[in-house]
Amino acid sequence: MKYLLLALCFLPLALPAQPATGLRVLSYNIRNAKGMDNQTDYVRIAGVIKSANAELVALQELDSVTQRSKGIDVLQILAESTGMTGTYASAIDYSGGKYGVGILSKQKPLSVQRIPLPGKEEKRVLLAVAFEQYVFFCTHLSLTEADRISAAAIIDSVAAGYQKPIILAGDMNAAPESGFFKQLSAEWQLVSGTAFTFPAPQPDRCIDYILLRKPHHWVPVQKMVLDEPLASDHRPVLVELSARPKQ
């Protein structure tokens, strides 16, 4: 499968009457495929992704042709292994290549945006990918709360430019009771729950989430943190959405 290079384009489109009848969404910080056994294993990560059978996958901590990854484009490998389309957004230059986030999708995107986000310890990024019936946001936010709150305002501003249902997924580096989530709560509904996701062997906090922008036509019918303690230092979060019946 051809790897989809990032194109900086943005096309607002009309809101559909109903989204797809069912949609599975996965968010996974893969730590560049380095597991808790210190083995970098792309096949193992691809297996976790395939087992979720999701139409949309938000991935964080992805190298692109770095020395650390021995020149491998990690997202391209995962796209080919899963039979999905990969879309990448770099956050920083790193080790001779790039480091950032990515999206795997069963559909090919209609348009893509890369939006820089603040981060005192390292710069962050929002990847916004539009499809026919919805838009998918992926991000990995700062370790600093002030940066996350500033990022929330930027994310809301970008979302306001779309006339479609929007899904936001990623490693937010924030607790559910944080100021970041208080700011998001007016415009977004948390649908992935607050089950612990990190650290993977024995999780003791939730920092990985999936949210829907209000208003939307979906009902979350299933949410879970996958029982995967080895492949990364985070556990993957999966949500299944169903279209709300017409009134």
Query: How large is the average pLDDT for residues 28-41?
Result: 98
Amino acid type, 74: V
Contacts of residue 69, Cβ cutoff 8 Å, sequence gap at least 6: 32, 40, 63, 97
Task: Tally Cβ neighbours within 10 Å of residue 155.
Answer: 25
What is the maximum span of the chain, computed from C-alpha positions, in angstroms? 55
- The yes-or-no verdict on residue 20 having pLDDT over 70 is no
pLDDT for residue 1:
39
What is the pTM assigned to this prediction? 0.91
**The domain 22-243: what is its CATH number?**
3.60.10.10
Residue 58 CA to residue 44 CA, distance in Å, equals 17
- The yes-or-no verdict on residue 129 having pLDDT over 90 is yes
pLDDT for residue 247:
57
Residue 5 CA to residue 148 CA, distance in Å, equals 27
The pair of three-digit structure tokens given for residue 32, joined into one six-digit string: 């560049």
pLDDT for residue 201:
98
Q: Sort strands 85-94 and 56-64 into parallel, antiparallel or unpaired.
A: unpaired
Domain boundaries, the chain: 22-243
In the chain the beta strands, taken as DSSP E runs, fall at 22-29, 56-64, 85-94, 97-105, 111-117, 124-130, 135-140, 166-171, 188-190, 208-213, 218-225, 237-243
Residue labelled with tokens 């979302």: 159
If DSSP codes are grouped into helix, strand and coil, which group holds residue 60?
strand
Q: Sort strands 166-171 and 135-140 into parallel, antiparallel or unpaired.
A: parallel
Residue 136 CA to residue 185 CA, distance in Å, equals 18
Dihedrals phi, psi of 14, to nearest 5 degrees: -70, 145
Q: Which residue has the higher pLDDT, 20 or 156?
A: 156
pLDDT for residue 22:
85
Residue 27 CA to residue 156 CA, distance in Å, equals 20
Sheet holding 124-130, edge to edge: 111-117, 124-130, 135-140, 166-171, 208-213, 188-190
pLDDT band at 84 (very low <50, low <70, confident <90, very high): very high
pLDDT band at 246 (very low <50, low <70, confident <90, very high): low
- The yes-or-no verdict on residue 101 having pLDDT over 60 is yes
pLDDT for residue 6:
37
Q: Do 210 and 23 meet the contact criterion of CB atoms below 8 Å apart?
A: no
If DSSP codes are grouped into helix, strand and coil, which group holds residue 177?
coil
pLDDT for residue 244:
81
pLDDT for residue 11:
32
